[in-house]
Chain A
Amino acid sequence: MKKIIHISLAAFGLLLITSNTVIAKEDIASLRGTEDLSGASLKATKKKIISQEGGFERSYKQQPPMVPHKVEKYKITLKNNGCMKCHSKKNHKKEKAPMVGESHFLSRDGKKLQKLSSRRYFCNQCHAPQIDANPLVKNEFDGLK
């Protein structure tokens, strides 16, 4: 008798799980679309980096400004930083580019440095170029302005 109860409970549970997944499958659209899981995913469409005069608006205070221009030509290596060609203290006025923030010249102990702090050296860790693509998921984030 016990055995039968066990089996029927297990069967019931299994039914619940499968019926749940069926519901889930119908209700939630996957980012993958209707593509079959076993097939190859769709080829990503190529998007170009956008240039925007005046730059992008920040979404929240202290957001690292996004890069409003192409960056392929500028390399950041251990030896030199191509972004500094325009954004350095010396060149920014002439290039009409924003200067690297003062905070980038501070050590982690708040000491002023002559050179760009190594913590801030790799610009693209925080400053990202943008492409003209719609967000995959709707986002209602509204930051503090």
Chain B
Amino acid sequence: MTSGQKKGTFSILVIGIFLGIILWGGFNWALAITNTEEFCISCHEMRDNPYEDLQDTIHFTNRTGIRATCPDCHVPKEWVHKIIRKIQASKELYHHFIVKDLDTPEKYEAKKLQLAQNVWRTMKKTDSRECRNCHHFDSMDFERQESRSADRHEEAIEKGYTCIDCHKGIAHTLPEGYDPGDDAPGGEDEG
């Protein structure tokens, strides 16, 4: 290897590292921006409907002053799952820009059951992964819970229920067409 070749390899390496930092950093930066509540509610569909809906619930205001924002519940934290979710989000862009089937509160209301069921299905499939970013059975002190809650949580651990089996409609109001009285907790009827 001549000294000229050596110099060439070296400069390619330096440029590569530099470009790598810029591109990778930029990618992560862009990803982080799309992962903020501000970004989510920059679309009026989100701002006027689910965000409005969230504000009445305990995930928005509560005794201890902790707030869950949209991505806390709707975007996975682990990198691979996060990227998959981000790619799936292109469908949301498609509906926003091209189909436009959620652009009025009436249209949103009409589709709300279907949208909710999509989220419930995903939560069920992932064993309520996003809930468990904050809520762990391991960190729950059953002694401090109401007896009913403690009993049901113990049962849930035993039988392998997942959060969303019982806790539907806790961060958004329930959609029309869903009857809480018909949905036996745990997903099965033992009554």
By the criterion CB–CB under 8 Å, are A84 and B181 in contact? yes
Interchain CB contact under 8 A, A93 and B191:
yes
Per-residue CB proximity of A75-88 to B under 8 Å, as 1/0?
A: 10101111011011
A21-58 interface code vs B (CB 8 A; 1 in, 0 out): 00000000000000000000000000000010100000
The CA of A87 and the CA of B147, in the complex, are separated in Å by 17
Q: Pick the contact of A77: B58, B173, B177 (CB < 8 A).
A: B173
On chain A, the residues within 8 Å of B181 by CB distance are 81, 84-85, 87-91
Q: Check if A94 is an interface residue, CB within 8 A of chain B.
A: yes
**Complexed CA–CA distance, A73 and B179 (Å):** 16
What sequence of 0s and 1s flags, for each residue 28-67 of chain B, a beta carbon within 8 Å of any chain A beta carbon?
0000000000000000000000000000001000000000
A84 to B168 alpha-carbon distance, docked (Å): 13
Task: Identify A85's interface contact among B173, B180, B189, CB under 8 A.
Answer: B180
* Chain B min CB distance to A1 (Å): 75
Q: Bin the interface of chain B by size.
A: 20 to 34
Task: Knowing that A75-B173, A96-B148 touch, tell me 17 more A-B residue pairs with CB under 8 angstroms.
Answer: A69-B146, A73-B58, A75-B174, A77-B174, A80-B169, A81-B181, A82-B174, A84-B181, A85-B180, A85-B181, A88-B180, A89-B191, A91-B181, A91-B184, A94-B184, A94-B190, A95-B148
Determine the distance from Cα of A92 to Cα of B184 in the docked complex, in whole angstroms.
9
| Closest-CB distance, B74 to chain A (whole angstroms) | 21
Output the residue of A77, A82, A89, A90 with the most chain B CB within 10 A: A90
Name the CB-closest residue of A to B166: A85
* Contact (Cβ within 8 A) A80 B191: no
**B184 x A90 contact (CB < 8 A):** yes
Q: Which of B146, B147, B177, B180 neighbours the largest number of chain A CB atoms within 10 Å of its CB?
A: B180
Q: Report B186 CB to chain A, min CB distance, Å.
A: 8
9 A-B pairs with CB atoms under 8 Å apart are A51-B146, A77-B174, A79-B173, A79-B176, A80-B179, A80-B180, A94-B184, A94-B190, A95-B185
